[in-house]
A = this chain, B = another copy of it.
Amino acid sequence: MTNKKNTKDLILDAAEKLFAVRGFYGVSIRQITAEADVDPALASYHFGKKNDIFDAVMLRRAEILNRERIQMLDDCIRRAQPNPAPLHEIIDAFTHALLNRSNKGGTGWKSYFAIIAQINNHPELGGVIMTQYFDPLAKKFLDAIHATMPAAEKEDLFWCYHFLSGALTLTFSGTERISNLSDGLCQSSNLDAVHERLVPFITAGFEAFKQQPNKTP
């Protein structure tokens, strides 16, 4: 097991860490290369423009994460055949990989999720990665949901997905202020506790749209 990292990864690690805290525009190339203990010119040499560094940071983990999540969705659907997969299993499959990486994946993954949360507010930055990786996954997820809730309206499910997406984003970004609300309730870092509550919460939300509303024209 080689412990010595190459320059490209050193830069990506440093960029990931700093982007997570201060955002794309809040971090300079010189700060990144200083954190990586590397000459500033190497950033341009290895990656090109600053935007390309950001894209490289995103791509690195997007592939891993995406493969895992699609796999879990497929497994969950296959297990239930010929019936549709249970709703809570679909939602668990959609969220489990996030929890797992955020919990046991190390600081790099934590930073990565924080950046994902930022991308939601800056479409100009991560547009390509999102369209290429997350959208197909979301489509597969929504299809599975629709299969297990055939009576629900598609538009309802579409919005429910957005609510799930928002809850997920904030939960796993890790940057949320726990504030003085918790009163010591939340012994942080216990992300399993979060997941135990997130899945029932979201499942119940979706189920509220299981039947079409009484249309009385």
Which residues on A are within 8 Å of B, measured CB to CB? 22-26, 114, 117-118, 120-123, 127, 130-131, 135, 138-139, 142, 154-156, 158-171, 173, 175-177, 179-182, 185-186, 193-194, 197-198, 200-209
Contacts and interface: CB of A to CB of B under 8 A. Distances in A.
A190 B8 CA distance: 46
B204 A207 contact: yes
A169 B120 CA distance: 10
Contacts of A164: 167
Contact of A166 (B168, B180, B208, B209): B168
A26 B180 CA distance: 30
Tell me how many chains of this kind the complex includes: 2
Given A130-B179, A166-B169, 18 more contacts: A22-B25, A23-B25, A117-B121, A120-B170, A120-B173, A122-B175, A123-B175, A131-B180, A135-B180, A138-B181, A142-B181, A155-B185, A156-B197, A159-B193, A164-B167, A166-B168, A169-B169, A200-B208
Of the candidates A114, A139, A176, the one having the most CB atoms from chain B within 10 angstroms of its own CB is A176
Q: Is the interface of A mostly helix, strand, loop or mixed?
A: helix
Nearest to A134: B179
A130 to B, nearest CB: 6
Nearest to A115: B121
Nearest to A160: B201
Contacts of A209: 197, 200-201
Contacts of A139: 181
Of the candidates A160, A164, A167, A202, the one having the most CB atoms from chain B within 10 angstroms of its own CB is A167
Of the candidates A130, A165, A168, A201, the one having the most CB atoms from chain B within 10 angstroms of its own CB is A201
